[in-house]
Structure 1
Amino acid sequence: MQVKMNGKKHSGTGTFSSDGMRAEILNPFVHKLELDNTYDKIRTAIFTVILLPFRVIVICYLIVTAWFLACIGLYGLSEEDLRSKPMTGWRSKLRFYILSLMKLVVVAAGFHRVKVVGREHIAKGREAPVVVIAPHSSFFDAIAIVCLGAPSVVAKADTARLPFIGQLINYTQPVYVWRDDPNSRQNTIKEIIERATSKEDWPQVLIFPEGTCTNRSCLITFKPGGFYPGVPVQPVVIRYPNAKDTVTWTWEGPGALKLLWLTLTQVHSSCEIEFLPVYYPSEEEKKNPKLYARNVRDVMAHALGIPVLDYTYDDCRLIAKAKQLGIPSAAFIREITELRSQLKLDCTNLEMELINDEGLQSMTRWLDLKQFALRLRRGQVDAPLTRLYDIFLQKPIGMVHFPDYLLTAAFIILQNAPLSQFVYYAFKIFDPIGSGRLDMNTFEQVAARCFGHNPEDAHNVFRHIVGDEKGHLTYEQFIAYAQFKPEFSYLFAQETTQKTKVQ
């Protein structure tokens, strides 16, 4: 099976949807983008000199002008005023001029072809108080906000502090989500319900129900917060049918500045926004927001021609944590978790038994596929096992370094425990002879995978503790040292934050 994305077909990596049906899709949190031929490199270099400065100047001028108008419109209004009642009078009329400037920003950025499909489905008045947009894949999705007339957005509270853009978002009278606030979910839902059911002339509430950016290869879990009011919603799907995808911003891939640079150096970029028919919930869906969210997601996925997959924002947090530490194959943590479940490894304690096995050090550390299967006590090589092997495969060598797999499995199993406990098992996994001591080169491997240290940092820590590059370091020595170093304080912090459920 192949999945159509951005007008191109992509072969999948073999993750699975929640109903057990095979969904050949890319890891939704990974995006690869490189200038892979001489023509693209030369063209980008030329347009960086000729086109980019002009566009940046024009965009900055328009945004600053819009920001200035927003400051005027917001003058004298407190945060409580913005949340308690919709703007009226001259402040409301000023929205038209700000919106016109932002439409010019879209054009100046090279999006000359913003195609709007399904205008006949656009909800009128209070017919659909909530607008649901997916897939969410980029900061360029703000184009949809502009095209929809700047409805009230549900956004991270951090966006309010963005220079210039923060005031423009404030002018939409947004519903801010405080992800670190344990009461954020309830407060957000309450505010959405109040606006959606209010008799006042509030703008529509716009949500990106996925809650984080993906590569548009699938629709991940919809957070049901916007579906709690039980009111009709306007589903809107967004596409970027460009030959080169320079807009997708995921957890693993190009950064925001690189994407902005590559997009602004394209002659033109295309965006397509499609309004689907207003979705009217059944009585069962009104009582069950999660069911409502799943059914709307299914409708939108069908319109996009892509599968659904039950990935969440919490998966992103785990991926980010793994990536920060340097865990092997960090970007695939969610898929590894799912594959372990399919192989029933999560129902056993096999990996931890292997780590605690005193004979681990005498076992071969570099494995081919058959050896990998035997090590995990699999009688046959099936598709999930092959995919798990491929994730850890060191292509230049053509084999898997088994300690890397064990370390990642331990990270997943111990994800809610203090990191110091995880480090204890890392010492055991990489101990070459089972002596309980690591030399400097072996500690370098542990430090790279558990602390994100480069070789120089790892060597400095080793020398501070041992005093001799030719000495050996035990786990107890390292912990005794780390307890008094602020840079290692995170190792001893208990995971107290409960998993974010729905916002």
Structure 2
Amino acid sequence: MTVEFLPVYNPSEEEKRDPNLYADNVQKLMAKALGVPATDYVMEGRVPVSTLGGLSLPLASPGRETLSLLHKNGLEAHEIEAALAKIIDRCLSGAQSSKANADELTSIFFLKDKQTAVCICSLYSKDETVDLRQLYCSVSALMDFSNFKDLLHSAFKFFDHEGKGSLSAEELSDLMGALFGIPQHNTGALYAEASSRGLLTEENLLQVLTTHPTYQRVVNDYLQPEEVGSQLLLAPAANGKAVNNNVNGSLYHNKKFK
């Protein structure tokens, strides 16, 4: 067996400031030496993700998979919205835990069978439970009834546990994890950027996510509903709103934050 040794890689000043850039460049160097293409995807547990700005972006969105399961169970857009409204009321009231089991999820969405709820739970956790804050945020991001500013406001309230109007680094990680439906472990760069003006307030976070080139791209590509006509088949629902009948479509779309 021939073992190939690569020379020591000394990071540049830019790479020292950005560990993600350093990791990407090392990956490309190793791929070149092995004669294989470098991929933008990595595995986090069993989930394939791409990374951008330190954030882990799942290739198969749990929110999109959840919508697919709900539609297959016969739910229309207005029924999903009504269930999400119940979820946000429960999470903000503090009267019950934000964790729900498959039986509770079956009741919340008036599902015809528990197995659909079990499948939804498996998208977010290893057991038959789901953090309703994750489910609400990741699904709401793909629905037309709420814009990103409203969604972030709700998410901020979920994780501002003490009602102090600002988030800690850990709380920010939890918030971003809820938006994408998977844990986020590398939100340090986002936290530093959003708190550079002082505390990490909702206003500061919104400004960074919607004006910083990297994070604006994340919002535009991952956290907004797809436009009508962008490879989606839409049919009218009973309440006159459009229902997405192709929720397994591309994760990417062209709708821009305004």
The normalised TM-score by structure 1 is 0.28
**Between Structure 1 and Structure 2, whose CA radius of gyration is higher?**
1
The normalised TM-score by structure 2 is 0.49
